[in-house]
């Protein structure tokens, strides 16, 4: 499990990829023995409402969305409603799932709602965490002098897989301070992060 390996801080530690697929065993809430089901999804301050699938007890939503998360201690809540055009929507049921229970990779889940009207409704979702890495380039010291006058114009390049990010160039110094922060989406945790220090036109250190 992920547990708290991703840490807890104010910055997003990762992206939750959520796929709300379908429901089954939904209770009949309308005249005619059907329901008009939609799903409300909340996590922290984020909320998402699916489309309404009319006249079905086995609705297929097939909706995907991403949301930044700040802590693996957060809980995602799925609430299934019967839509009503003329009055308040009826709650069919809701289920909560803690992100700390997610495993690496895709989590293909059937989540059970409370029993209602002798039915045992469930919703089918796929959840996956795409971690982030946050890198702060603070400073360097005693870089080799590459320019006439004993100075350099250094900058740092960070490379993670095919993603490259660069700091600003600090001109005329061999002891630069950047204090610049970068975020990378992590698709493969086995891949290394490369940190290269350049002077305009050449590599100083790798």
pLDDT reading at 204 higher than 70:
no
* Residue 11 confidence (pLDDT): 63
Residue range 168-179, pLDDT digits in tens: 999 888 899 999
CA angle 128, 8, 193 (to 5 degrees): 70
First to last CA, the chain: 34
Residue whose C-alpha is closest to residue 198's, from 160, 169, 159, 163: 169
Confidence of residue 121 (pLDDT cuts 50, 70, 90): very high
pLDDT reading at 7 higher than 70:
no
- What is the average pLDDT across 100-119? 93
* Residue 5 confidence (pLDDT): 33
Confidence of residue 201 (pLDDT cuts 50, 70, 90): low
Among the residue ranges 23-32, 94-103, 117-126, 142-151, the one predicted with the least confidence is 142-151
Domains of the chain, CATH where assigned? 14-131 (2.60.40.150), 140-205 (2.60.40.150)
Residue whose C-alpha is closest to residue 61's, from 105, 23, 95: 23
* Residue 2 confidence (pLDDT): 35
Summary mean pLDDT of the chain: 87
* Residue 4 confidence (pLDDT): 33
Measure Cα distances from 138 to 6, 98, 202 in Å.
Answer: 22, 35, 21
Query: What share of the chain has pLDDT > 70, as a percent?
Result: 90
Question: pLDDT higher for 42 or 144?
Answer: 42
Among the residue ranges 51-60, 143-152, 168-177, 189-198, the one predicted with the least confidence is 143-152
pLDDT reading at 53 higher than 80:
yes
Provide the 3-class DSSP secondary structure of residue 64.
strand
Token pair of 132 as six digits:
């982030």
pLDDT reading at 51 higher than 60:
yes
| Contact indicator for 58, 94 with CB cutoff of 8 Å | no
């Amino acid at each position: 499990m992920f547990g708290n390996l991703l840490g807890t801080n104010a910055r997003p530690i990762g992206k939750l990829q959520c796929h709300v697929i379908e429901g089954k065993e939904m209770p009949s809430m309308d005249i005619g023995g059907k329901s008009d089901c939609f799903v409300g999804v909340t996590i922290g301050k984020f909320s998402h409402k699916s489309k309404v699938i009319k006249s079905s007890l086995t609705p297929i939503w097939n909706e995907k969305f991403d949301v930044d998360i700040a802590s693996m201690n957060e809980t995602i809540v799925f609430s299934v409603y019967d839509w009503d055009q003329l009055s308040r929507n009826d709650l069919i049921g809701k289920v909560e799932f803690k992100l700390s229970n997610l495993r690496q990779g895709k989590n293909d889940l059937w989540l059970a709602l409370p029993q209602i009207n002798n039915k045992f409704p469930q919703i089918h979702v796929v959840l996956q965490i795409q971690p982030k890495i946050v890198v702060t380039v603070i400073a360097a010291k005693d870089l080799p002098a590459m320019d006439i006058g004993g100075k350099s114009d250094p900058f740092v390049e960070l490379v993670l897989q095919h993603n490259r990010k660069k700091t600003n160039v600090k001109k005329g110094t061999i002891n630069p301070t950047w204090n610049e922060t970068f975020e990378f989406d992590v698709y493969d945790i086995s891949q290394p992060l490369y940190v290269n220090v350049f002077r305009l036109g050449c590599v100083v250190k790798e």
